[in-house]
């Protein structure tokens, strides 16, 4: 069984009535309704990019720019960019 952590929450009278109604309609415990609500909201958390990865990519591109124009053929292959 999953370990649970006890929480005390405060609801408005309307929220309490709604919670009780949802639990009765779905045949579920009020706590389960709250757990499911938290999971659903968690699914919509905005994506947060890994800023370290962007900094590494920026450093790589700056390194290429510092090399300047390459006479003749470039020193890297397009595929090398996709392997990063």
| Per-residue model confidence as pLDDT tens digits over 38-71 | 999 888 877 778 899 989 999 999 998 998 887 7
pLDDT tens digits for 17-28?
999 999 999 999
Instruction: Please write down the HEC assignment for all residues of the chain.
Output: CCCCCCCCCCCCHHHHHHHHHHHHHHCCCHHHHHHHHHHHHHCCCCCCCCHHHHHHHHHHHHHHHHCCCCCCCCCCCHHHHHCC
What pLDDT, on the 0 to 100 scale, is given for residue 32? Answer: 96
Average pLDDT of every residue of the chain: 89
What pLDDT, on the 0 to 100 scale, is given for residue 7? Answer: 93
Q: What angle do CA 66, 68, 69 make, to 5 degrees?
A: 160
What pLDDT, on the 0 to 100 scale, is given for residue 83? Answer: 65
Domain extents in the chain: 13-42, 51-82
What pLDDT, on the 0 to 100 scale, is given for residue 84? Answer: 59
């Amino acid at each position: 069984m999953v370990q649970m952590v006890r929480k005390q929450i405060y609801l408005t009278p309307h929220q309490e009535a709604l919670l009780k109604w949802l639990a009765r309609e779905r045949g579920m415990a009020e706590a389960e309704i709250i757990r499911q609500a938290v999971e659903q909201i968690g699914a919509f958390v905005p994506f947060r990019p890994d800023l370290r990865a962007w900094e590494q990519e920026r450093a790589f591109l700056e390194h290429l720019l510092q090399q300047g124009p390459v006479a003749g053929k470039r020193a890297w292959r397009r595929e090398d960019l996709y392997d990063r």
